[in-house]
Every structure is written in C-alpha cells, then in structure tokens.
Structure 1
C-alpha cells in the first residue's frame, strides 16, 4: 500500500519513500526487469524440461510461464496506474494495480491446480529423470536470477509502496524457494534414484504457490474495498495532527489507498472564534505535516469549531 510505513519483502531495512516522478521510474524499471527475467527463464526451463522430463522442472516451467504472463500484465497495469487523474477518474488510476494483482492471484492458483494433478499422476506412475545435470545447471541460473530480481523489487516496494510490484515480488519470492525445491528434487531423483521425491516436492511447491496467491489476493481485495490503513498508522496521523499547538481535537478520520496514493480525510477541531484566514492557515500546516510523513498522500481537511461539552470519536 502507498503509505508512510516501509513495507518489506524479505525483511530488509526501510528506505525513504520516493517522490511521484522517482516512484514512476522505479516501478517501470521493476516491471521491465520482471518481464525480462521471466522470458529468459521460460526459454531455459523449456529446454531443460524437454531433455530431463522432470515433473519438478515442469512445475517450475509452468510457474515461469505464468510469471511471464503476470509480469506483462503488471507492466501494462503499472503504466496505466501512473496516468494522472483525468476528468473521468478524479482519484487517479491507482486501483488498476489491485485489479492486476487480483488477476495474478488467479493465475497463480490455476498453476497450482495443474501441478497437483500432474504430481498425483506421477505418484502412481513414477518416472526417472534424465540429464539431471542440465536441469541442475538451469535451476541454479534461475535461482541466481530470481534472487537478484527479488532484491530489486524489494527496494522498489520500499521506495514506492506499489501493491502491484509488491504482489509480483511476493510471487518471485515464492519462486525463489520453489527453485531451491526443484534443485533438491533433481538431486534426489537423478543422483539417488528417489523417483517419488519429484512428485512429492511438486505437491509441496503447489501448496506454497497457493499460500502466495492467497496473500496477494487479500492485499488486492483490501485495496479494492478501500480498507482503512493499519491502526498504528491511523494513530500516527492523529498524533501528527494533535502536535499543532492550535489544534484542539480531531475526529471522523477516514483513510484508504489507491495504487501509490494514500487518501486521508479528517475533521480538525479548532477555536471557533478565530478568523477563517487563520483556520485555513492551520489546516494548511497540518496538511503539509501529513504529506511529509505520508508521501504521495492526498489530504482533505474540514475545520470544525471545538466543542468542549462532548468528545467526538476519532474513528467514527
């Protein structure tokens, strides 16, 4: 989500949020890198599977095919999400990212079902793996390339907060572990003759893919349904607002995200006897503080006279 917090994929320390222009550039490069990596790995894995007939390698090839489809879809979605707000879309096009992420989750789930059917078939009819060394070499290349891509995607997520890049990064993080599992399956099957290792690890990979698809789908659904920011971020907003010496209270705080943009709406309670000019100046100062803490945020503030006799809920 596009907010003030630093999201990570892999537990890397936070990085300062980029401005709109820098965010757009990083997001575009992340989609280009994702698409190029997927297409390269598809070519290598197709050749390796044709020569080895490994189910684990086939599972990785299927996932890479979906990676390529999803990466192209993400590339188009990110490009569209970066289009400025227009007359028909006053709040911008950020939710295209969530739609693309939801579509990616469906593709990933479909690949997992395919792997389950293939693994069950191979469990009842185990087959040896040939040219295991070639498969191992291809998967080693795949492991290195995927690791490099996830590091770059993780950096872009921390700088931009893009839900589309985040879903792609989570997907490729699952690929990273999948590639390691495929290497293990190839070693156990080709070197030790454990033919059941291939389908069993295929089933394990399918389960991991489903878990990743669920996480991606939930994030996309939350954005499409305008879910509020986490409670710690909402508390942070309230604390920042109340730091202003002339702010007497805050209520009706509403938040949501759309792509890289965080939308913050609130009612500011101030002295009812001050001039409209002064009230506007206070609201402008509060807005500037919030936009500093939450880059790419759109802040809407309504000024209300402070009422001492009753306490208005902040989150109503």
Structure 2
C-alpha cells in the first residue's frame, strides 16, 4: 500500500487563499450592513429591508465560515487521521439553516406589507446603496470564484453562492424601487420581496444538498474518476485496475484503488510502479491522498457488489 500528499507549497498557497477569502467576505458583509441599514431607514422599503436581513445573515454565515475554514485547515492529528476538512461541510449545513430562517422572516414581513402597502420615499438613497452593493459584491464574488477554482473549498463556494444571490436580489430591489417611484406600484415592493425570499430558500437548498453529500462521502464526479482511470491505465506497468473509491473532505481528496500488475515481477518492481502511479495521480489532483493496493494480474478477487471498476 502506498500513499502520497500534496506538495507543501501548493497546500500553503491554497490555505492562504482560503483564509483571505473568509476575511474579505466578513469585511464586505460588514460594509453592506452599514450602508443598507442607512438606506432602509431613509426609504422604509421592505425590499431594502430584505437585502439588509440577507446581509446580516451573510455576516453570520461568513463569520461561521471563517471559523470553519480555520478549523478545517488544521493538520491531521492522532484523533482525526483524515484531517478536519468536514468542518467545511458542517458550516455549509449551518449556512443553509441561517439562510432559510432569514427567508421565512422576510416572507412574513413582505406578506404583511401586501395587506398594508406603504409608499417608498428617498428612492435616490436606495439606488445609490444598491449600485454600491452590486459593485462591491461583484468584486468579492470574482475573488471567491478564483479561490474555489484553486482550492475546491465547499465553504468558500457556499459563501460565494450567498453573494451571487445578493447581486440578483439587489438588481430586483432597484427594479422594485423604480416601479414604486415612477409608476406608483406600491405592491411591487412586497411582491419582489416575496420573490426574493423564495429565491433565497432555493439557494439554501443547493448549499445544504452539496454539504450533505460531502458529509456522506459521495464519490468524485464522473469526469474526475475517468481522469484517474486514464492516468492509472496509461502506465505501462499496470494491466488493469478495480475498486476505485474516492471522496472529498474540505480541501482534501482521498483516492483509493487496486491496480493489477504482472504477478511474476519482483516486490520491489511492483512497489516502484505503485509509487510512480501514485505520483502521477497526485500531480493531477494536488490536494489528494492516494492509497494503492497491488494485485497480481488475473487474480480472482471477491469484490463488493457496489465496487466500480
């Protein structure tokens, strides 16, 4: 059995990016809370209140993310041999719960405003704050998506989903303000807020769904598994492979497999081939820990019924 781990330089760069992303998220959330609170007080818009509530929940979720990422990046220890990466997924589930709670509160407030509509005032303040929010959030989302591409972090991806929704929400608030001011549609404000609450719940479902699958050790996507098979079977010393098993935990990926080789080769040669295969897979998946079991070619093993070749 062989194993490998990502090079320290790659891991350190990824960890630094993840920490920077959590700090940026908290900073942006705090700035948006202050500006949206001022705008809500000035306009009395329920749609603006909806974005303020969403930013408050984003702040709580971002703080939770910061703590979860710090914990997930702790190295493996004697009690947690596979590391602490699943703290990210637990954070994702908590974020989903936070978001659902805010959406339900918003739905109740918007429904009440449907029965008691009120005119929106000082819409210019609302426009300025929404444009500021959109531009600030776009920059944050761009950085978060860069970090997710580099690290595959579920926690950062979930946080980015919040803010991508915020961009659409802020656009909808601008539309509702325009309809209320220019056409006198007093019901536009609460109707848009109800629509926003439904969209927030949908985003929470997506985050919770992904986090739950990671906690349940779902296999890597089919294209990633196909890439692993291509690398392994591309080695001239490997005749076949079976029992490929994969899972993800935070920034780390775990890959296990059996490879078949000529049964007449020496143990040293079989070991060297396994090490080479392991290095090739780890190069393609930098955050992966690769475990390989060597089998002589043609051996008739009794394999689990769920095993995938």
Q: Which residue matches 2:275?
A: 284
User: Which string of whole-angstrom CA distances, capped at 9 and with x for unpartnered residues, describes residues 80-124 of structure 1?
Assistant: 111111111110010000000110011011111111111111111
Cα distance between partner residues in 2 of 1:41 and 1:163: 23
For residues 141 and 157 of structure 1, do their structure 2 counterparts lie closer, same or farther at Cα, with a shift above 3 Å needed? same
Q: Structure 1 residue 54: deviation in Å? A: 0.3
For residues 199 and 23 of structure 1, do their structure 2 counterparts lie closer, same or farther at Cα, with a shift above 3 Å needed? same
**Ranges in structure 1 where 5+ consecutive residues have no aligned partner:** 1-17
Q: Which residue matches 1:96?
A: 87
Corresponding residue to 1:106 among 92, 97, 100:
97
Cα distance between partner residues in 1 of 2:266 and 2:299: 19
Q: Structure 1 residue 136: deviation in Å? A: 1.1
**Counterpart secondary structure, 1:295:** coil
Cα distance between partner residues in 1 of 2:202 and 2:300: 51
Q: Which residue matches 1:195?
A: 186
Cα distance between partner residues in 2 of 1:310 and 1:103: 43
Runs of 4+ in 1 over 6 A off after TM superposition: 308-314
**Counterpart secondary structure, 2:259:** strand
Cα distance between partner residues in 1 of 2:138 and 2:183: 27
User: Which string of whole-angstrom CA distances, capped at 9 and with x for unpartnered residues, describes residues 12-52 of structure 1?
Assistant: xxxxxx81000000001101110000001001111111121
Cα distance between partner residues in 2 of 1:292 and 1:52: 55
Q: Which residue matches 1:167?
A: 158
Q: Structure 1 residue 310: deviation in Å? A: 8.5
Q: Note the 1:207-226 alignment, pairs <5 A.
A: 207-226=198-217
Cα distance between partner residues in 1 of 2:30 and 2:131: 16
Relative to the length of structure 1, the TM-score reads: 0.92
**Counterpart secondary structure, 1:19:** helix
Cα distance between partner residues in 1 of 2:145 and 2:222: 24
**Ranges in structure 2 where 5+ consecutive residues have no aligned partner:** 1-8
Relative to the length of structure 2, the TM-score reads: 0.94
Q: Which residue matches 1:41?
A: 32
Corresponding residue to 1:260 among 251, 254, 275:
251
Q: Structure 1 residue 211: deviation in Å? A: 1.2
The answer to whether structure 1 residue 67 and structure 2 residue 58 are counterparts is yes
The answer to whether structure 1 residue 81 and structure 2 residue 68 are counterparts is no
Cα distance between partner residues in 1 of 2:130 and 2:119: 18
Cα distance between partner residues in 1 of 2:13 and 2:183: 51
**Counterpart secondary structure, 1:227:** coil
For residues 310 and 65 of structure 1, do their structure 2 counterparts lie closer, same or farther at Cα, with a shift above 3 Å needed? closer
Cα distance between partner residues in 2 of 1:264 and 1:144: 40
Q: Note the 1:151-162 alignment, pairs <5 A.
A: 151-162=142-153
Q: Which residue matches 1:8?
A: none
For residues 295 and 193 of structure 1, do their structure 2 counterparts lie closer, same or farther at Cα, with a shift above 3 Å needed? same
Q: Which residue matches 1:315?
A: 308
The answer to whether structure 1 residue 245 and structure 2 residue 210 are counterparts is no
Q: Structure 1 residue 311: deviation in Å? A: 11
Q: Which residue matches 2:132?
A: 141
| Aligned residue pairs, count | 299
Q: Structure 1 residue 215: deviation in Å? A: 0.8
For residues 23 and 90 of structure 1, do their structure 2 counterparts lie closer, same or farther at Cα, with a shift above 3 Å needed? same
**Counterpart secondary structure, 2:243:** strand
User: Which string of whole-angstrom CA distances, capped at 9 and with x for unpartnered residues, describes residues 166-209 of structure 1?
Assistant: 01111110011001111111111123211110011001111111
